[in-house]
């Protein structure tokens, strides 16, 4: 059975990406899921909002899981706290259908994503 072309493209993109580019892809995904969850909230589609917030939560949990606390030092510890905050706000957004909480998450993720984008452009 053949995979659909979009899935195959995405799989190839991930398999051929550098570790830095994979981190950028994860940030892109988390932010995209947050944006879509916010739109679902505006449309009063609580089920879709919850589904998308769960996806964003999973992506951020993955970012947190791959932190190397030994080699990452203070930066890794700081990122762990940021991710913990983001996960807490996503849970709050889901329980209260609070769009402001989603905005908080995007506000902390966007500058981090831009920093990783810069690293990717420099070939790190």
Angle at 84 between CA 91 and CA 101, to 5 degrees: 40
Give this prediction's pTM.
0.86
* pLDDT reported for residue 123: 81
At residue 12, does pLDDT exceed 60? no
State the Cα–Cα distance between residues 90 and 99, nearest whole angstrom.
10
Could you give the maximum distance between any two Cα atoms of the chain, in Å? 47
Residues 101 and 93: beta-carbon distance below 8 Å: yes
At residue 10, does pLDDT exceed 70? no
pLDDT tens digits for 68-99? 999 999 999 999 999 999 999 999 999 999 99
SS percent in the chain: helix, strand, coil, step 5: 85, 0, 15
State which fold the 19-121 domain adopts.
Answer: 1.20.120
State the Cα–Cα distance between residues 49 and 114, nearest whole angstrom.
25
Q: Domain boundaries in the chain? A: 19-121
4 band by pLDDT with thresholds 50, 70 and 90: confident
pLDDT tens digits for 20-78? 999 999 999 999 999 999 999 999 999 999 999 999 999 999 999 999 999 999 999 99
| Backbone dihedral angles phi then psi of residue 123, each to the nearest 5 degrees | 80, 20
């Amino acid at each position: 059975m053949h995979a659909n072309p979009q899935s195959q493209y995405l799989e190839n993109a991930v398999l051929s990406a550098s570790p830095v580019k994979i981190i950028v892809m994860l940030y892109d995904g988390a932010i995209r899921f947050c944006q879509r969850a916010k739109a679902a909230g505006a449309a009063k589609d609580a089920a879709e909002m919850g589904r998308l917030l769960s996806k964003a939560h999973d992506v951020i949990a993955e970012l947190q899981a791959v932190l190397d606390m030994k080699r990452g030092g203070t930066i890794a510890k700081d990122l762990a706290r940021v991710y913990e905050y983001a996960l807490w706000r996503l849970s709050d957004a889901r329980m209260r259908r609070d769009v402001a909480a989603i905005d908080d998450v995007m506000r902390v993720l966007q500058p981090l994503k831009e920093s990783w984008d810069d690293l990717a452009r420099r070939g790190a």
